[in-house]
Amino acid sequence: MYVYNNNHQIYRLDGKSIDLVSNGTDGVLFLGNPAHEKFTYRENVTGVFAELIIQPINFTAGDRVNLDSEEQIAIFQIWVFTLFFESLQPTKPIQFFFGEKGSGKTTSQQILGQWLFGSSFDVITIQADKEDSFVTAITNNYFVAFDNLDSPVKWMQDRLAQVATGQKIQMRQLYTTNTEVVYFPKCFVSLAAREPKFKRDDVVDRLLLFRVNRIEDGDFIRLGILRDQVLSRRDDLWSEMLDQLNLIVTGFRQVPDRSVGVFRMADFADLGWKIAKIIGGDKGAEIFIELLGKMKQDQSDFLIEGNLVVELIDLWLDDDDNFGREVKTSVLYSELKEVAESNKITLGFRSVSGFGMHLRQILDDLRRHYGIEERKIKRVWNYTFRVHR
């Protein structure tokens, strides 16, 4: 493994030692960014990363969440390790902090980026008319944090899907009539929002969703101090991380690859399983697979949270006669419209076809909550709801 020190040199990790060599050694050349600040490796540093990066994040705990705070921490730590294995992840999950105002989402993004790159790093606020700026950010940076994604932006979900899957981005070159430029994003992305508008199923399937709680008023001062501590102790943070990565490099020679197969983002799942096994043995690998299953359920819950169709289905199922009753898409659409009208709600679909298409898009998630059975009769889908969520 090779890690750039932001000062024309590379830390080379071979599983036994950590050597500082010139940029370009072994044919590995990093293109530096003058705004990024250098760091220096020191031996035998421990405990700093948990103290300054992990513990300040106010992960949600309690019985009403799929992943408790300790489980979210476990996945988050694995995700941080995977940031250093870009070449093994053609597809990349999108890390997402989801919580109310005052939950420290922005600070969590800032301290992560400032550890990696120094004081110049900051979060980015997306503007609806600045699609070019978004493309510039994800194609020129290794890690980008977008904050306050609470307003609808028509192009954003397509771009998020592209950066997660590594698809090429084609755009017209500025100030030209017919010249096309092509970009291949290799960027890790962090998002933060209170009321996210990126709830398309193929985007949600690629989220690592971390729910965070509001921070007590007295702790906001501590967060301000935390940023200064992260910057003043970057060498310690980097030193501890490089030691951990060197152990992982050693383990890579000993642990065979495995296809996990329980998560949409297979590259992350397979790599994360391997890292979890290196760090925590067979038990660690087993727990990681369980956590991916819980994360998948959390994605499903997130997708249907606030979904108007789901809310109307809940009201429709208040009538016990609708349980176990097989209904055509058109009948379900008609009856949900009646429920919407009686509750002074606008359904938002002008036709059965539009409603049916949306239903098919979220069907996997609806199955988990309603035990839906489906069958197709003469090109018409029929649905039976077996349980109430």
Cross-strand partners of 171: 181
**Span 211-249, pLDDT tens digits:** 999 887 656 557 678 889 999 999 999 999 999 999 999
Q: What pLDDT band is residue 197 in, cutting at 50, 70 and 90?
A: confident
Strands 143-147 and 188-193: parallel
Q: When comparing pLDDT for 123 and 183, which is higher?
A: 123
What pLDDT score was predicted for residue 368?
Answer: 84
Q: What SS3 state is found at 4? A: strand
Task: With a cut of 90, say whether residue 109 has pLDDT above it.
Answer: yes
pLDDT at 335 over 60: yes
Buried residues in 215-246 as b, exposed as e (16+ CB within 10 A): beeeeeeebeebeebbbebbebbbbbbbbbbb
Q: What is the pLDDT of residue 221?
A: 57
Which of the residue ranges 55-59, 176-180, 253-257 would you say has the lowest mean pLDDT?
176-180
pLDDT-derived band at 25, boundaries 50, 70, 90: very high
Of the listed ranges 77-81, 87-91, 194-198, 250-254, the one predicted with least confidence? 194-198
State the pTM of this model.
0.88
pLDDT band at 130 (very low <50, low <70, confident <90, very high): confident
Q: Please give the average per-residue pLDDT across 315-329, as a whole number.
A: 93
Which has more confidence, 197 or 48?
48
Q: What is the pLDDT of residues 141-166, one digit of tens each?
A: 999 999 999 888 999 999 999 899 88
Question: With bands split at pLDDT 50, 70 and 90, how would you rate the model's confidence at 388?
Answer: confident
Asked if pLDDT for residue 330 goes beyond 60, the answer is yes
Residue 181 pLDDT: 81
Identify the pLDDT of residue 348: 82
- If one counts every other C-beta atom within 10 angstroms of the C-beta of residue 52, the result is 21
Mean pLDDT of the chain: 91
Answer yes or no: are the C-beta atoms of 20 and 239 closer than 8 Å. no
Q: How far apart are CA 198 and CA 98, in angstroms?
A: 12
pLDDT confidence bin for 340, thresholds 50/70/90: very high
In whole angstroms, what is the distance from residue 280 CA to residue 287 CA?
A: 9
